[in-house]
Structure 1
Amino acid sequence: MAFPTPVQVSDVNQLLATHSDWDAIIYISDLSGSEQFPAIHQAILQQEKIDKRTGLHTVLINAPELAGGRLIFAPTGDLSRDYDDVRRIADATKLAAELALQAGVEKPLLVTEIGSNASQYQESQGVAYLALCQAMWQPLEAREALGEDTIETVLKAGVFSERELNLAFWQAIEAGKRVARDLCGTEPERMAPPKFADYCEQAFAGTDVAVSVLSDDAEILASYPLLHAVARASVEVPRHAPRVIRLEYTGQGTIEKTLYLAGKGITFDTGGADLKVGGHMAGMSRDKGGAAAVAGIMKTVAALKPKGIKVVAEIGAVRNSIGADAFVPDEIITGHAGKRVRVGNTDAEGRMVLADILSHMREDAKDAVNPEIFSMATLTGHAAIAFGPYTALVENGPAKSKQTAKTIASAGEQWGDPAEQSLSRREDFDFVRPRTKADDVLSSNNAPSVATVRGHQFPMAFLSIASGLDQHSLNSDYPIPYTHVDIAGSGVEGGDWQHGKPTAAPVAAFAATYLQDLA
């Protein structure tokens, strides 16, 4: 699993052609050059005389005196405005990386210089490296068909800095993001549930993350009845049969924190009996983005080996198929937590999968040290409508008291992996209330989330009730912080779920929040 290895360069002479091991400089800046890098500044000044795009667009400059004889200048634009953030640097780097690939660059040296001293740019070099890797990544199917070495030719990237850089942390984040992109972005047959499990077993082989896979249909039905209902129509096709994948890491030393991560892994979502029509089924092989992110975070954990923390992940890898045995609206199914769930819409299948997983985690968390529970999912189009390209974080009372969303959002802001806090309200719990004594909770209404008021908030209320986590509220005897993470808006570039490159959100934000200080 290759990706560009970051290499710190502290000697300014490495920027010069006669001393360098690199074949191009990529200069990312809101400046046109500075006294710190006079050779770069001079090359840009010369280019400005013949190309008025210089300073406005990414350009390739012939610079015989610089490393590799070429300079790619990627201007970020103004970074001093209130609404600017580190993603300007990531965007500029991606454009530069694409140009570098076209130019045949194989050993780029990143030079990031930001004139603004604003605190939000303190991780700009790491963000630039991760953006370079994002641009260089090619889909798993392409690598398998054409050869990884053939289409991913950049194996190392220099990063110029005179201060010490935490390259191991950057590399661990990228390892996780690569796993997340692979799992999310791969087509539905190559990454059907059994193959999703196989990928996880291979990705964590030889690491401190233990992997177990539940494949027995009777056991899944008994222990994960809501999840199994979603999978019912797929069970008769062995290559589509469901899997529950558990990933577990226990760090050295006294455990002071326990994280539980539940991942929605719908490897293809037809909508079930409430069939997606009008072209809305395209791209639904990416409905496993939440599970992909969970696996990605665990890969970062495996790379960092943080001390004093236990991290447990469970992924429900399921295909929501249509067929004679498909579950249908109006069914009442008793979940693992003992709550009777009335199915409102079979296209609201992800919350069914997550509810059973969360119920198991709730039981585990009762005996855990300082637990926090998260569910991650490409759950609702409403999250994308409400927040655009930002991850939505919906907290329960204990999580809100701990300022979980605020903390994650702040870390994500530094690393170009932003999020928005979204509150769980009384209307959300009223929305899923039982209408008769025949059931305990309603999974969904029968309208699209984008046409439903509070369409991304009320599913968190369902998840709380159906999993039993509503019994662990702030005023209960045993409060358990729980945050639902909806990446339907942030999970792919440009919001294009059929063709957009997976972003691996929120791997970087979670790594910066929970792992950075423990490695």
Structure 2
Amino acid sequence: MKINLTNTKINKIKSDIEIVLVNSIENLKEKELLESLDFKVSDEVMVYLPESGKIFVAYEEETYDCLAIAIATAIKKFQTTNFKTAKVDLNSFDSKILKSIVEGTLLGSYTFDNYKSKQEKKKKQELIISIQEDSPSLDNIELNSILNESTIISKAVNKARDMVNTTPGDFYPDVMAKLAKKLAKDAKIEYKIKGEKFLEKNDMNAMLSVGRASIHESKLIHLSYKPKDAKKKIVLVGKGLTYDSGGLSLKPADYMVTMKSDKAGGCAVLATIWAIAKLELPFEVHAVIGAVENMIGGDAYKPDDVLVAKNGTTIEVRNTDAEGRLVLADCLCYAQDEIHDIDYIFDYATLTGACVVGVGQYTTGIMGNNEILKRNAVLSALKSGEYATTLDFNRYLKKTIKSDIADISNIASTRYGGAITAGLFLDNFLKKENKEKWIHFDIAGPAFVEKAWGYNPYGASGAGVRMTIEFLKNIDK
């Protein structure tokens, strides 16, 4: 979907369709007709009037989510037509809402039909946005900056969606590594790809064990964006389980469906660093992803095994389906050993079903040791259009991951608080000087949902990308 800004009055813009954003029908000339069609001012309510060439779409409040959902609802209808152009009037709105309109359009128009035998030809459609009539020119002003930034962010989210939606047969660790290299070259940033010999040589035995039974070699991916005079140094770590069968602690058959989404943390990290480089944000950013496939076989790691992580911590394996935390453990250690003077460490993972049970499908669980940092992350998520909440650590749950035969166990001795105990497990792999700089994002809920919601389609949502960029944009404020 192409988007153009103009300061031409709406009635002078030639287009096939006009999208009308509505929070009251009182002053509309089509009021009676809309009432007869039972049009209500409620999110996701839309009416298309072919005779007048207008799509009326409701929004309840002038917030990011309401407006993004409204424009996405209208755009989806626009996509079902053969028309090429649509226009929308934003002159009565504050210019700040342009972000929600652009992102709602680009995220709402996303489709993934790579596996359809008969693919519809992609339509070349355009949305023309009329805004700020009193501006003599739209060149080099804040509005074009918002358009450019929101376009890059939306492209990054959609890149993450594409990666997550791709099937495990087409997206295994080597494919993820090659795609990471492609993204790095496009963004003109550094990259390193390491295989299992590197993992073995560098004592990354936890990550190495998880991928041992797969025919696909595990890959450690490290991308680096290093602008001049960087203000901060940020490390993003992603769980890249390209498929998770559960290992020998095999998942039930219906739980294996959608496990292509277990790479969503790693995909979010790849898309985020690409966007950061394209936006030329003034921060040094490192992306570290553990790309692994957790399968069964004669060489699979087993319940009762004791693994030694990169930092020397011994881990009793009590469930091979708690594998993501093992991969993240070694990736966190690698990042801290290779990158010095870190200001922030964020990790992203579809880590626990417990998080989905606790906070629902649409919300990210945020954990860590720094209360202010966690709350700032939640605020950034909400401001960006994502949902998030904190899940607090406590000393009593920490006791449940103790092991009688090793330093820690990879699952807790209680069935309760599973998202938090997973976060507490990861805390063991943060150096003392970095514990207050770290946040764990459990995106198991929103990363992949089997029904459309808001401007998100069936499948991958690209969770994590927008909230991270929003956090970095406001890091010094």
The answer to whether the 8 Å contact 1:27/1:112 transfers is no
**Separation of aligned partners in 1, 2:451 and 2:355:** 11
The alpha carbon displacement at 1:494 in A equals 5.6
The equivalent residue for 2:417 is 454
The answer to whether the 8 Å contact 2:106/2:151 transfers is no
The alpha carbon displacement at 1:140 in A equals 6.7
5 Å-filtered alignment, 1:120-519, equals 123-139=96-112, 141-142=114-115, 151-154=121-124, 156-162=126-132, 164-165=142-143, 166-215=146-195, 217-223=196-202, 224-234=204-214, 237=215, 240-252=216-228, 254-307=229-282, 309-365=283-339, 367-368=340-341, 371-388=343-360, 389-396=362-369, 399-400=370-371, 403-436=372-405, 439-445=406-412, 452-465=415-428, 467=429, 469=430, 471-472=432-433, 480-493=436-449, 500-515=458-473
1:218 counterpart letter in structure 2 = K
The alpha carbon displacement at 1:516 in A equals 6.4
C-alpha change, 1:320 and 1:130, in structure 2 (3 Å) is same
2:432 counterpart letter in structure 1 = Q
The answer to whether the 8 Å contact 2:238/2:269 transfers is yes
The answer to whether the 8 Å contact 1:330/1:344 transfers is yes
**What is the Cα-based RMSD across aligned positions, in Å?**
2.7
1:169 counterpart letter in structure 2 = E
The alpha carbon displacement at 1:461 in A equals 1.2
Pair 1:22-2:15 in alignment: yes
C-alpha change, 1:113 and 1:277, in structure 2 (3 Å) is farther
**Separation of aligned partners in 2, 1:225 and 1:97:** 49
C-alpha change, 1:351 and 1:110, in structure 2 (3 Å) is farther
Other structure's SS at 1:423 match: coil
After superposition, what is the alpha-carbon deviation per residue over 1:375-405, rounded to whole angstroms, capped at 9, x for unaligned? 1001111111111111111012xx32xx222
**Separation of aligned partners in 2, 1:456 and 1:152:** 41
After superposition, what is the alpha-carbon deviation per residue over 1:441-480, rounded to whole angstroms, capped at 9, x for unaligned? 1111488xxxx21110111111111x2x15336xxxxx55
**Separation of aligned partners in 2, 1:351 and 1:496:** 29
1:59 to 25, 43, 47: 47
**Separation of aligned partners in 1, 2:424 and 2:243:** 25
1:182 counterpart letter in structure 2 = D
2:217 counterpart letter in structure 1 = A
5 Å-filtered alignment, 1:112-123, equals 123=96
The alpha carbon displacement at 1:194 in A equals 1.0
2:84 counterpart letter in structure 1 = E
Other structure's SS at 2:186 match: coil
**Separation of aligned partners in 2, 1:104 and 1:392:** 42
The alpha carbon displacement at 1:303 in A equals 1.3
Other structure's SS at 2:80 match: helix
The answer to whether the 8 Å contact 1:336/1:356 transfers is yes
* Unaligned residue ranges in structure 1 (runs of 5+): 35-40, 65-69, 474-478
The alpha carbon displacement at 1:152 in A equals 3.6
2:58 to 64, 67, 75: 75
The answer to whether the 8 Å contact 1:90/1:131 transfers is yes
The answer to whether the 8 Å contact 2:401/2:409 transfers is yes
The answer to whether the 8 Å contact 1:175/1:299 transfers is no
2:383 counterpart letter in structure 1 = Q
Pair 1:94-2:72 in alignment: yes
**Separation of aligned partners in 2, 1:265 and 1:328:** 20
After superposition, what is the alpha-carbon deviation per residue over 1:225-245, rounded to whole angstroms, capped at 9, x for unaligned? 1111000001xx2xx221111
C-alpha change, 1:100 and 1:142, in structure 2 (3 Å) is farther
The alpha carbon displacement at 1:142 in A equals 4.5
**Separation of aligned partners in 1, 2:121 and 2:219:** 32
Q: TM-score, normalised by structure 1?
A: 0.82
Task: Report the identity percentage.
Answer: 22
Other structure's SS at 2:187 match: coil
**Separation of aligned partners in 2, 1:385 and 1:176:** 28
**Separation of aligned partners in 1, 2:467 and 2:51:** 37
Other structure's SS at 2:185 match: coil
The equivalent residue for 1:31 is 24
**Separation of aligned partners in 2, 1:445 and 1:495:** 31
After superposition, what is the alpha-carbon deviation per residue over 1:129-169, rounded to whole angstroms, capped at 9, x for unaligned? 222222222227259x767xx54424543333218421121
The answer to whether the 8 Å contact 1:110/1:159 transfers is yes
Other structure's SS at 2:460 match: coil
Other structure's SS at 1:130 match: helix
**Separation of aligned partners in 2, 1:495 and 1:274:** 28
The alpha carbon displacement at 1:73 in A equals 1.2
**Separation of aligned partners in 1, 2:377 and 2:307:** 35
After superposition, what is the alpha-carbon deviation per residue over 1:298-340, rounded to whole angstroms, capped at 9, x for unaligned? 1211210112x10001111111011111111110111111111
**Separation of aligned partners in 1, 2:277 and 2:126:** 21
The answer to whether the 8 Å contact 2:412/2:418 transfers is no
The equivalent residue for 1:67 is none
**Separation of aligned partners in 2, 1:377 and 1:123:** 31
The alpha carbon displacement at 1:484 in A equals 0.4
**Separation of aligned partners in 2, 1:103 and 1:257:** 47
After superposition, what is the alpha-carbon deviation per residue over 1:185-206, rounded to whole angstroms, capped at 9, x for unaligned? 1111111111112222223323
The answer to whether the 8 Å contact 2:98/2:147 transfers is no
Q: TM-score, normalised by structure 2?
A: 0.88
The alpha carbon displacement at 1:515 in A equals 3.3
C-alpha change, 1:33 and 1:172, in structure 2 (3 Å) is farther
The answer to whether the 8 Å contact 2:449/2:459 transfers is yes
The answer to whether the 8 Å contact 2:348/2:440 transfers is yes
The alpha carbon displacement at 1:114 in A equals 8.4
Other structure's SS at 2:198 match: helix
2:411 counterpart letter in structure 1 = S
The equivalent residue for 1:45 is 31
* Unaligned residue ranges in structure 2 (runs of 5+): 136-141
C-alpha change, 1:325 and 1:360, in structure 2 (3 Å) is same
The alpha carbon displacement at 1:278 in A equals 4.4
